[in-house]
Structure formats: C-alpha cells, structure tokens
Structure 1
C-alpha cells in the first residue's frame, strides 16, 4: 500500500489497521488450535486459554471497527481504499465468529470427556476436518497479508474437503451411537463440535472472498466457479 497516496499518513493508517486485523487473526488461529486440542485432551487450563482468547478477540473487534469508522469519516476514501476498509471490517467480524466457534469446540470437547469415559469414538474424520479448517484459516490470513487474490481464489473450494471429512465422521458416529447407546450423550457433544469446525472453515473461506474483493473489486460470494465471477458494483 505504501506510495499510493500523497498523504503518507493515510497510507500509515491503512497499514496499521491491516496489521491489527492480522494480529487478531493470529489470536484466532491460536484459539482454534487450542480448541482442537481440547477435543482429544481437554484440560481446565487449555479450555480457560480458549475462553481468555475470546475476550481478547472481542475487544480487538470493537477497537478495529471503531478505527475503520473513524478512517472512513475522516478520510472519505476513494473506491479502492474503501473496498479495503470494508473487507477488513468484514474480516474482523468473521474472525470473531470463528473464535466463537472455537469456544464451542473447546466446551464440547470438555463436556464429552466429562460425560463418558469411552475412548473408542471414530474421530479420525473429525481430526482431519479440524486440521483442514485450521490450515484454511492460516492460508486465508496469509493471502490477506500479501493481498494475494490468486492464492485467495484457490482457497474457495477448500471447504468442500472439510465437509467431505465431516460427512464421513457423522455417518461413523451415527453407527457408533446406534451400537452403543451409552455413548450417545458424549457423541452428541462431538457432533456439535463437528458443526462448529465446519463453520470455522466457512469463515476462513469468507476471508479469502474478502481479499479478492479488496484487491480486484470482485464479489465472489455465491459464485460456483471462477468463470462466473463478476466485478463488484462501482462505489457511489
């Protein structure tokens, strides 16, 4: 972004707000990683760290939103910069929601282990989906940091692999619970965790879409393929 404006202070403000969004993303990445660990080995300390991260992430979302509004009011940015600020604002909202889903995963993991001593759940599909969602979040944040639209575009189909892994997991869990009714309560906790992981992947996909919008002005939401992308409507 540097060098785009004669007003170098505006450049600095845009770079600073981008940096803060990426810092928030790093917190959520850690939150998701800790939450996934809770599914296998929940401890009060790890669960507490996930909850603490939620408070930090929520505070950052509010701070960033206030700063974005302030910049728009003071600077009245032109189309490209306005797209960037809108994309960053939407990114913070999706990061906060991904953090909320991470809290659900951590709590469900803790509850599962409290409800049952069963350790033979067929969780391989859940672990695969969790790893994929975490990786997609990391890649989406990296594409945002580099304002790399081609890389962001390549991530738009990654959530299909997450959904496929979770579909297999759900089928296995239904069979397992049907054969062992004592495992139903803990199994339901795992199924709720699976839904939260799917949503984390969806929020990561949204981040990639916002990067494409910020850099190219293309609104790729709900597009089934790159060939159907249409330019975003021009800013008023």
Structure 2
C-alpha cells in the first residue's frame, strides 16, 4: 500500500498519531545534528580549525544519545500499539534511519580526528580540492535524503540511489590522485594517508545517505530495494505501485 493513500492522520487514537509524528520529528532533529557534524568536520580541515574539529569529536556523544532515545521510543510504540501496514513500516524505517545517521556521525568524527592530526602537523593543503568536491556532494546527499524522508518523496530518494554511484567514481578518482602524490614525494605519505581516511569516511557517508533513500522507498511503497542494482530500478513503475 502506498503510504500517501493510507490514514496516518486518521487513527482513532490521537495519542498514537502524536507518537508517530514525534518519531519522525526526533529523527529529523538527529539528522540536522548529523548534517552539521559533517559540515563542521570538513570545515575544520579546510579552514585549519582544530578547535572546531575537537568540537565535532565531542559532539558525537550527543548523536549517540539521540539514537538511543529514538530506539527506545520506537520500542515503546511497537510494544504498546502493535502497529500494522504503513505505520509499522514507518517505525521500522525510523529505526534503520537512526542507525545510519549514527554511522554518519561516526564518520564525521573520524574526519574531524584526522583533520586535527593534519592541522597539528602543519601538512599543507595538498588533496583538499578532492576533499572539498566529494564533501559537497555527500553533504547534499545527506540533506536530500532527510528531505525525501520528511516529505515521503520517492522520486528524490531514487535520484539519490543513482547519485551514490557518482560519489563512488569521484572517490576512486581522488584516491588515484593521492596515490600519485605519494609516489612523487615520500614525505607526503603520512598526511596523504590521513586524507585517504577522510575521503573513505566521506564515501561511507554517501553510502549511508543512499541507505536512507532506500528506506524512503520501503516506507512509502513497501518495496525493499536495498540489494537492487540502481540501473534495474524503474522509477515510473515504482511511482505507480501502491
């Protein structure tokens, strides 16, 4: 059943409606914090701001706490309400999405820690162009993934599934460039390795944003596309389902 044709707003229990809305609201709040963590982690590197980097690392605990709170709320809804159909999909999608957001927070913390090491080592800005390009792409993916979840927008979600391949290609290209740097100057090996870890973290953030998009399709259409090749996805057929 398409969630857009369901009756989320027409439950007999207004309290149940409120609980479902609160789950979604709390997930969006967690997403906002995680999005800022990614933005600040990259800014710490590009602007040479180690204090901002340490702040990102410290804030990771807040991200973890939000996931624990959301998981507890979802457990209570499942136990008390025993939701079915699209309501059950919403709760399950929130649980899965919170897990991916927590992982994005972890990757942001990794970026911040490596950024602090590079800043403290005064290692210049080689490789920053690649970091800036990929970071802008994955940050946009995270933002759009959250938007698609908030709006139950499967069209935007499917667009993100295809974008993940672009990020993977950008990542591979950037890694080749960094390998060239190391081959040209052995002294660059240590800082370049840190940049590689940062790029790997950014690529993983893109993967998690892709997961969020897949959950939107599951939530709205009841279709599990997690192990489907993006080239095999028929947007028009998915739009008609429900």
Shorter-chain TM-score: what band?
over 0.9
Q: Distance in 1 between matches of 2:8 and 2:234?
A: 32
TM-score if structure 1 supplies the norm length? 0.92
Q: Distance in 2 between matches of 1:117 and 1:124?
A: 15
Give the RMSD, CA atoms, in angstroms.
1.8
**Matched residue of 1:3: which SS?**
helix
Task: Establish whether residue 8 from structure 1 lines up as the match of residue 29 from structure 2.
Answer: no
Alignment of 1:58-137 (within 5 A): 58-119=64-125, 121-137=126-142
Instruction: Give the equivalent residue in structure 1 for 2:144.
Output: 139
> Shift of the alpha carbon at 1:159?
1.2
Residues 99-151 of structure 1, C-alpha deviations (whole Å, 9 max, x = no match)? 000000111111123334333x1332221111100000000000001111221
Instruction: Give the equivalent residue in structure 1 for 2:53.
Output: 47
Which structure ranks higher in relative contact order (CA pairs < 8 Å, sequence separation ≥ 6)?
A: 2
Between Structure 1 and Structure 2, the one with more helix by share is 2
8 Å contact from structure 2 (residues 114, 194) kept in 1:
yes
Q: Distance in 1 between matches of 2:51 and 2:16?
A: 42
Q: Distance in 2 between matches of 1:142 and 1:94?
A: 15
Q: Distance in 2 between matches of 1:139 and 1:52?
A: 26
**Matched residue of 2:70: which SS?**
helix
8 Å contact from structure 2 (residues 37, 105) kept in 1:
yes
8 Å contact from structure 1 (residues 57, 96) kept in 2:
yes
Q: Distance in 1 between matches of 2:107 and 2:127?
A: 22
Task: Establish whether residue 196 from structure 1 lines up as the match of residue 212 from structure 2.
Answer: no
- Any unmatched runs of 5+ in structure 1? 232-236
Alignment of 1:126-205 (within 5 A): 126-205=131-210
Instruction: Give the equivalent residue in structure 2 for 1:216.
Output: 221
TM-score if structure 2 supplies the norm length? 0.90
Number of aligned positions between the proteins = 230
Moved more, 107-116 or 139-148: 107-116
> Shift of the alpha carbon at 1:199?
0.4
